[in-house]
Structure 1
């Protein structure tokens, strides 16, 4: 399975027939010292939900964050075969689900930049529950940034007051993150889309009025379908495995919302070609939609109409886009 730019919800993995494989990184007979060689004395495992509804604290996409990982996460590609087995091997209660994020640098006091104008930089890698590295995991990045800002605030208030921006390095990408009140913002480069024509699309949108179709350049990137304003996205059927017969692109379905409600755009995200029937809250898709809806909208307040739902924000800034959202930490354990 390629390292595609998609995010993964946790629902499909509950009955994964491939779960329970042996782990290459930590064999079953590992000792506590083996574990300690990869994790610091104060490493934590936390379950977050990213892109929640701030008013209700509900919804959002689940993410398990292990902070204090002493090995370089960038070198861990493909070594995790099942998150639940991995956490069990570490003697961690099975309280966590969703994507797995590894944060290598967590000693905030050691992260003081030599130049006050420089940003603190942290290495992070994200994996699906089946062990594949996620190329761009928006909810994982949001959860990681939220965790770091919380750590800075509680562990080093002076540093927190001086550092308005941090850098998260994921693979070949560097993402700036800022905190505005309780809202975390991630900055991405603009990914352009081009108009597209696909004669097969009406097969998946019977009864809907397709207004526009666009796609990113990569063959395994994104396909965006804009429906008539105020379309009821809940009535869009899951494309299922049939989508792979026509495209290897993840499918984003979107509609503008009129009226005076809290949201001016709705969307849903499907990537069944990569095992994701539908994602819960997809920050990587939101960065695409920020550019797609410009110039009609410079600011988006979006509702992702999945079962769990997600609330996402974006700002288009000419040469970059910002994707924002709120997080909640559901639980934490120390290893």
Structure 2
């Protein structure tokens, strides 16, 4: 597909965050399209070519199931189009980095109406340059002529996980953090999320503060496969006794006793992390739960641990019957501390 500058439109109007009726649907809700972003030399430096290969591979895999719109700096549009192929639409919108889950709008529905929540991206608490990325949510909503809801808090799409019926999971370390929401209490943040994404029941896990750029997003730890079922990234039995295993233990204990918006206990499904992945950097994200659900499929990371990769496919196929599971390599993406879910954002179809 060719570049489409004509997709740009007048800025979408902001509405009050107290708008009633908006609800963030589950990821299995049918998608209109997926948004992604093209990595830049500014951020990725010597790893730019390799991470672009990862992103192009993910974009091509998703395009086999649903439309993909990829944002790229104007000077990168032609290279991105060549790498991603004609099935992917590349649009010239300025970006700093590739993490569309966090910089893009979080879409919500109210019957046949759609809006996008702008979570006021601030570089994960000022940790990275974001002068372009902070405007991406607004640009996408303008392009799509979708109403913009400016959230009264700062956060990222990867910091929340919903079941589509009112239950929301999050880490305290990411949202209840002065680098994003100084002076705001848990109650303040819950009120904001109720207003903007329709959450009525909150499941908070402690998380890990200050050890990765996101302050530990929930989508690296636990996901809803459907209401009542949570998939948990599970470290190996011989994993070192560190902050990450402690965070898993604490989260697992919380989730075992948590009740969702329907008043029911959760079913937990363990998704073991890969072990045999060779030499990786300290910040490498080795978790399968950072997969992405698309129309008719699931895009799942492949880490090179043959047994773990195969087991992950089997578990995810059981969780999403009838969907084709496609694995793609994410070696350089993982070195940047993220994965497939972090690099994507879905626009749901109106009901």
TM over 0.5: no
**Greater fraction helix:** 2
TM-score using structure 2 length:
0.25
**Greater fraction strand:** 1
